[in-house]
A and B are shown apart, each in its own frame.
Chain A
Amino acid sequence: MDIALLAMLCVTAIAAIRIRDLFAVTMLFGIYSFLTATFFLSLDAIDVAFTEAAVGAGITTVLMLATLRLTGRYERKPKHNIFIPLIVVSITGAALVYGTLDAPLLGDPNAPAQQHVSPRYIEESPKEIGIPNMVTSVLASYRGYDTLGETFVIFCAGLAVIIILGIQDSGEVHPGRSAIGDQLVLRVVVKVLLPFILLFALYVQLHGDYGAGGGFQAGIIFASGFILYDLVFGEGDARLIVPPNFLKRLAALGVLLYAGVGLYSLFNGKAFLDYSALSDNPTSAQHIGIFLVELGVGITVFSVALTIFFAFSGRAQITVKTDRRPPL
């Protein structure tokens, strides 16, 4: 099964190189994400598979399509020679393959990567943190600083997109104008399906301690529910429900919630992000801390993902109106 998946990955990659129709390449990229996620699953990385499926196949594809709508569908044939890049790539690849000859074999339990801190996480985290999902406990508790940094990166990316593209309020968009919104079957099915998607996102958010899931995944799924609504019911309808201004504040709120947990423990005489300040019982303190932190992450990821989508789709509207100026 692994080998079949890897072979399909290779085929997809080669096809993605060769095809000049960028729409097709984007679709192939969606397939590639699905295959990658399935492969992650077969390597026991259930949380990563969750994230890759939601992010790679969902959000990234949608963003790329939104970009393609503006930049044109067909790629021109590259003029310069492809042999020099091919040689560079072959040499780099050969060097890397040579490097792997000394690497530990796949699945070797004595590999260096399995020796350092991981045994401690695996043995102690169920007792210390008290939640079964080790990925969540490492993510939100042991490596809380790291995750805080990542949340800031996401927040900054949202800011950067707003700065570069700008984001419109609901007044300037056209509710109900959409090419596929006139399909009755689609509208009905999406209406029925939407509550389940949002409910599933909440389940992923709250169940992240016990199974696969957590703030990152839940935020993305929640956002994709709104994106689906926006796609089917027309540009701007979702914007009336979640105004972009509100989203900006929500993104900041998530980061502030995360950092606030850290500051709270700092003011209580503990180290930054030391959850034991939150409660007397150390295990329940960890529970509360992880819950709050994951909530902060979820809110930030949701609002940033939706903000980025709004910025991209809103841009499409502007360019349609003003693209008539003569080319350079």
Chain B
Amino acid sequence: MSNIAGLFNYWVVIFLMMAGFFVVISQGNLVKKIIGLSLFQASAFILYISIGHVSGGEVPIYVEGSNLYSNPLPHVLILTAIVVSVSTTAVGLAIIIRIKETYNTVEEDEIQIIDNRKDDEDEPVEEEHPAEQKEDQS
């Protein structure tokens, strides 16, 4: 019984992780994929913090006369990881915006279809790219 209570956290984390993973591999929309990735990341954070938790321990801020603290190391790792994750998410979203502007869709299947069509006939590619560059310079 104590086993179940002690491992319950991990199981929920695994469930959440798999939910994120499922979104990433099964959904076609790129924005939704990014959201799934974020879900996955958030659950990985929970896993780390769960590992660092010490029952009866205190917040790792030194107080006179107390000597049982939670492990500060996972907190440090995850603190920086959260900020890094938002930066990477931002880069991913930026790429999605460019994909939308080039292909006019964010659905994976449609992008693939357009890509295949471009491989067959190279003309549309040549037409599309100068237009993009002009927009950048303006």
A residues sitting closer than 8 Å to B (CB atoms) are 2-3, 6, 9-10, 13-14, 16-17, 22, 25-26, 29, 32-33, 36, 39-40, 43-48, 51-52, 55-56, 59-60, 63-64, 66-68, 70-72, 75-76, 78-79, 82, 85-86, 88-90, 92-93, 96-97, 100-101, 103, 105-109, 111, 113-114, 117-118, 121-122, 125-126, 132-135, 138-139, 143, 146-147, 150, 153-154, 157-158, 160-161, 164-166, 210-212, 214, 216, 220, 301, 304-305, 308, 311-312, 315, 318-319, 322, 325, 327-328
Contacts and interface: CB of A to CB of B under 8 A. Distances in A.
B98 interface: yes
Interface of B: 2-3, 5-12, 14-23, 25-32, 34-35, 38-39, 42, 45-46, 49-63, 67-76, 78-80, 82-91, 93-98, 100-101, 103-104, 106-107, 109, 114, 124, 128, 131, 135-136
26 contacts: A13-B16, A17-B23, A25-B35, A33-B42, A36-B45, A44-B60, A45-B52, A45-B75, A63-B86, A67-B31, A72-B106, A89-B22, A92-B18, A93-B18, A105-B7, A106-B10, A113-B73, A114-B54, A118-B71, A153-B84, A154-B83, A157-B87, A164-B91, A312-B97, A318-B135, A322-B135
A23 B121 CA distance: 37
A154 B52 CA distance: 25
B55 A59 contact: no
Nearest to A96: B14
A67 B93 CA distance: 7
B19 A139 contact: no
Contacts of B76: 135, 138-139, 143
B60 A135 contact: yes
Nearest to A90: B18
A100 to B, nearest CB: 4
Could you tell me the dominant secondary structure of chain B's interface residues? helix
Q: Which 10 A-B pairs have the closest CB atoms?
A: A105-B6, A107-B55, A157-B87, A85-B26, A132-B62, A44-B70, A13-B19, A75-B29, A134-B72, A150-B80
Contacts, number: 296
Given A92-B21, A315-B97, A56 B42 contact: yes
Contacts of B53: 43-45, 106-107
Could you tell me the dominant secondary structure of chain A's interface residues? helix
A16 B38 CA distance: 12
Given A13-B16, A135-B60, A322-B135, 13 more contacts: A25-B35, A44-B54, A45-B52, A63-B90, A75-B31, A85-B25, A86-B22, A97-B11, A108-B6, A138-B76, A154-B84, A165-B98, A311-B94
A22 B31 contact: yes
B68 A109 contact: yes
Given A13-B20, A17-B22, A134-B60, A122 B69 contact: yes
A141 B52 CA distance: 20
